[in-house]
Structure 1
Amino acid sequence: MLTTQRRAMISTRLARDGQIVAKALADELGLSEDTIRRDLREMAAEGLLKRVHGGALPLTPPLPDFAARQTIASDLKCRLGRRAADLVKPGQTVFLDGGTTNAELARALPRDLRSTIVTHSPTIAAELEKHDAEVILIGGRLYKHSMVATGAAAVAAIEQIRVDIFFLGVTAIHPAHGLSTGDYEEAAIKRAIARQSAETYVLATPEKFGAASPHRIMSVSELAGLVVPADMAAEPLSPYGDGSTALIMA
């Protein structure tokens, strides 16, 4: 098989599966693992994929900083936030992950809603200053890119709380690679919160579908629901239409 043919196959597999395992692909093609690894190194050097131990992942565009992200697709995020706020009932304990879309959710919550809101994001907590809800702020090492607390202290506090709903923030959603994000410690925090939650939802903007970030959080099938734009194209949503995860239109 020619180098160009192998590279085309690698690109196709990445788009379909969300990952390449070098040994598995080498065995399938009857080639040496070194050959596949060399292809992956060269493609990574050209900016076509991201090399990871044992294989490769698709590239995801680098996220702008938190302040810049607040200005991106703000109307769409407002819609998602308002729809997600409808899922919150009086008396519930709700965990809000960080992120600009979840900030819109916090703004959309009725100010007289009697509930408990837990968050490890100081920016989310600040949005709830004038709300009647009790607010519990989890502390730890501040990951400034997402403005959330991470580390052992945050995990220890999270493990003492049981919540009804967790609104999880992610950077990528893929049918094979699942829900993922760009930071190792942040992914660990998100998994810890999900373990303490009866239901987990993701507010999903269209550009996150079909992408895979380096650090996996959980599978899409573990979610109670995806809150998505009502006018979103059907094709990116088709892998999630089996009913295991609710698609909630906003």
Structure 2
Amino acid sequence: MNLNIPDTRQSELATRLKEGQQLVAIELAHEFGVSIDTIRRDILALEAQGKAHRVRGGAVPIAAPAAPLHVRLTDGPPPDKNLIQSAIREIGDAPTLLVDGGQTILCVIEHLPKQQGRLVITPSPWVAIACQERGIAVFMLGGTLRPLGGITTGDTTTTRIAELYADIALIGACGIEADFGLSSDDHDEAMMKRAMHEAANRTIIVTDKAKIGRRARYQTLTMSDIDTVITDASSEMTKTLQASGTRVVTSQ
């Protein structure tokens, strides 16, 4: 492979992005034996082709929109068991939880121990039903039900959240990377997640490794907004998140 040819380099970089890898310009320049400016031009070309999002120091993959929740629950692989247990340990005995929707968050609630006096506040019908099945008190937020995350959104939802207080906001991710923070595929869902963060004492993001280093359409929270990220990604994959100062818990 002749890496002095731009098309060859860019094809290799595009393959790495498709595999979910983050591109770090200085490392690639050393690996390919070219200048950092050459790698930057390659990244610009890939961005123009819609294959990369430029970030400081390199590029990250573009996150493809997720399938609707009911499809993911039927066809998708189950979340990592260690990830779920790590999230449950982090929640501890917090009495009031603002809980997002999505497959991973739902799985956490399906395994959350019953605790006297605990209340779950959620925009997700699936989470609400899981709480009822486990005997956990639940308050269901109204609004317009969005198919992507399976949660209610809109002014009705965010206004009601603003009237509440929770010990923890437990939020899922469409994408999360150090420069852009937490991101969502749906604008209204992004607004709802922001409202949850603002109403809680602590904000915890629970996400699988496929979302690390990815950037969805709408910025939702900056890394400084987030107290803890819990993921099944390796320490190597999360090093840029850790460098941002946010606490990262890896379940591996």
The two structures share one fold, judged by TM-score above 0.5: yes
Structure 2 counterpart of 1:249, one-letter code: T
Q: 1:88-129: CA deviations, max 9, x gaps?
A: 344611011000001111011113443010000111101111
Answering whether residue 70 of structure 2 is matched by residue 64 of structure 1, we say no
Equivalences for 1:69-108 in 2 at 5 Å? 69-70=72-73, 71-76=75-80, 78-90=81-93, 92-108=95-111
CA distance in 2, matches of 1:90, 1:169: 20
> Is contact 2:224–2:246 with CA below 8 Å preserved after alignment?
yes
What is the TM-score of this pair, normalised by structure 2? 0.74
Instruction: Work out which of the residue numbers 49, 52, 55 in structure 2 matches 1:43.
Output: 49
Give the share of equivalent positions with the same residue, in percent: 21
- Is the 1:119–1:137 contact (alpha carbons within 8 Å) kept by the matching residues of 2? yes
The letter of the residue matching 1:191 is: R
- Which residue does 1:238 correspond to in 2? 239
Distance 1:239 1:39 in 2: 24
Looking at structure 2, the residues matched to 234 and 87 of structure 1 have their Cα atoms a distance apart, in angstroms, of 18
**C-alpha contact 2:79 2:208 (8 A) present in aligned 1:** no
Q: Distance in 2 between matches of 1:88 and 1:57?
A: 30
SS of residue matched to 1:185: helix
Corresponding residue for 1:248?
A: 249
Asked whether the 8 Å contact 2:61–2:215 carries over to 1, the reply is: yes
* 1:61, distance to aligned residue in structure 2 (A): 2.2
Equivalent residue in structure 1 for 2:128, among 125, 128, 138:
125
1:39 deviation in Å? 6.5
Q: Separation in 2 of the partners of 1:188 and 1:16? A: 31
The letter of the residue matching 1:216 is: Q
CA distance in 2, matches of 1:125, 1:171: 21
Q: What are structure 2's unaligned runs of at least 5 residues?
A: 1-5, 26-36, 38-43, 54-58
**Large movers: runs of 4+ above 4 Å:** 14-17, 38-42
TM-score, normalised to structure 1, is 0.75
Match of 1:178 among 161, 178, 181: 181
In 2, the alpha carbon distance for the partners of 1:218 and 1:16 equals: 23
User: In 2, distance between residues paired with 1:59 and 1:190?
Assistant: 21
Rounded to whole Å, the distance in 2 between the matches of 1:57 and 1:87 is 28
Question: What corresponds to 1:215 in structure 2?
Answer: 218
* Count of residues in Structure 1 that have an aligned counterpart in Structure 2: 219
Q: Which residue of 2 aligns with 1:139?
A: 142
Q: Is the 8 A contact 1:91 1:116 kept in 2?
A: no
Shift of residue 68 of structure 1?
Answer: 2.9
For the Cα contact (< 8 Å) 2:231–2:250, is it kept in 1?
Answer: yes
Gapped runs of 5+ residues in structure 1?
18-28, 30-37, 51-55
Q: Map Cα deviations across residues 37-76 of structure 1 (whole Å, 9 max, x no partner).
A: x9689624xxx258xxxxx985212312213322433151
Q: CA deviation at 1:170?
A: 1.1
